[in-house]
Chain A
Amino acid sequence: MLSAQTFGGGPGKMKDYHYTGPVEHRFSPYAFNGGTVLAVAGEDFAIVASDTRLSEGYSIHSRDSPKCYKLTDTTVIGCSGFHGDCLTLTKIIDARLKMYKHSNNKSMTSGAIAAMLSTILYGRRFFPYYVYNIIGGLDEHGKGAVYSFDPVGSYQRDTYKAGGSASAMLQPLLDNQIGFKNMEGVEQVPLTKDKAVQLVKDVFISAAERDVYTGDALRICIVTKEGIDEQTVPLRKD
Chain B
Amino acid sequence: MALEDICGFTDTPVHAKWFPTSLFEDSISSIHLTDNCTFGLRKPKKSEGNGGIPMDFFIPTLPNSASFNHRPLPSPPAKYSAMVRRPFPLSHGTTTLGFVFQGGVIAAADTRASAGGLVACPAVHKITPIHSHLVVTSSGSGADCMLWERILAREIRLYQLRHRRRLSICGTAKLLSFMLHPFKGTEVCVALTLCGWDKGVTAATNSGPKLIYVCSDGARLQGDVFSVGSGSPYAYGVLDRELRWCLSKEEAISLAREAVFRATHRDAYSGNNVDLFHITAQGWSRRAREDLKEEYYRDMKRREKVAEERKRLIK
Contacts and interface: CB of A to CB of B under 8 A. Distances in A.
Interface of A: 22, 24, 26-30, 32, 88, 92, 95-96, 99, 118-128, 130, 148, 150-156, 158, 168
Nearest to A82: B87
B142 A126 contact: no
Contacts of A156: 121, 123-124
A56 to B, nearest CB: 13
Contacts of A24: 65, 68
Nearest to A96: B18
A126 B146 contact: no
B143 interface: yes
8 contacts: A29-B84, A123-B20, A123-B21, A123-B55, A126-B58, A152-B90, A152-B141, A153-B147
Nearest to A89: B20
Contacts of B143: 121-122, 125, 150, 152-154
Interface in B274-308: none
A126 B60 contact: yes
B247 interface: no
A99 to B, nearest CB: 7
B87 A30 contact: yes
Contact of B147 (A22, A118, A127): A118
B281 to A, nearest CB: 32
Do most interface residues of chain A lie in helix, strand or loop, or is the interface mixed? loop
A22 B68 contact: yes
Q: Which of B65, B88, B186 has the most CB of A within 10 A?
A: B88
Given A92-B20, A123-B20, A126-B187, 17 more contacts: A28-B87, A92-B18, A96-B18, A118-B147, A123-B21, A123-B58, A124-B58, A125-B188, A127-B59, A130-B86, A150-B91, A150-B142, A150-B143, A152-B144, A153-B146, A154-B91, A154-B145
B85 interface: yes
B115 interface: yes
A22 B84 CA distance: 22
B221 to A, nearest CB: 25
Given A92-B20, A96-B18, A150-B90, A125 B57 contact: yes
A152 B186 CA distance: 15
B56 A99 contact: no
A195 B252 CA distance: 46
Interface residues of B, number: 40
A125 B21 contact: no
Contact of B120 (A30, A150, A153): A150
Contacts of A120: 20
Contacts of B147: 118-119, 122, 153-154
The CB with the most chain B CB atoms within 10 A, among A28, A99, A154, is that of A154
A26 B19 CA distance: 29
A-B CB proximity, top 7 nearest: A154-B143, A152-B143, A127-B60, A154-B142, A122-B147, A153-B143, A95-B18
A168 B118 contact: yes
B68 A124 contact: no
Given A99-B18, A118-B147, A32 B65 contact: no
A1 B20 CA distance: 45
Contacts of B83: 126
Contacts of A30: 86-87
Contacts of A128: 86
Contacts of B19: 123
B15 interface: yes
B122 to A, nearest CB: 8
B134 to A, nearest CB: 21
**Which of A95, A119, A121, A130 has most chain B Cβ within 10 Å?**
A119
Contacts of A130: 86-88
Contacts of A26: 65, 85
B52 to A, nearest CB: 15
Nearest to A175: B122
Interface string B215-226: 000000000000
A64 to B, nearest CB: 25
Contacts of A99: 15, 18
A27 B85 CA distance: 10
Contacts of A121: 143
Given A26-B65, A150-B115, A154-B142, A126 B57 contact: yes
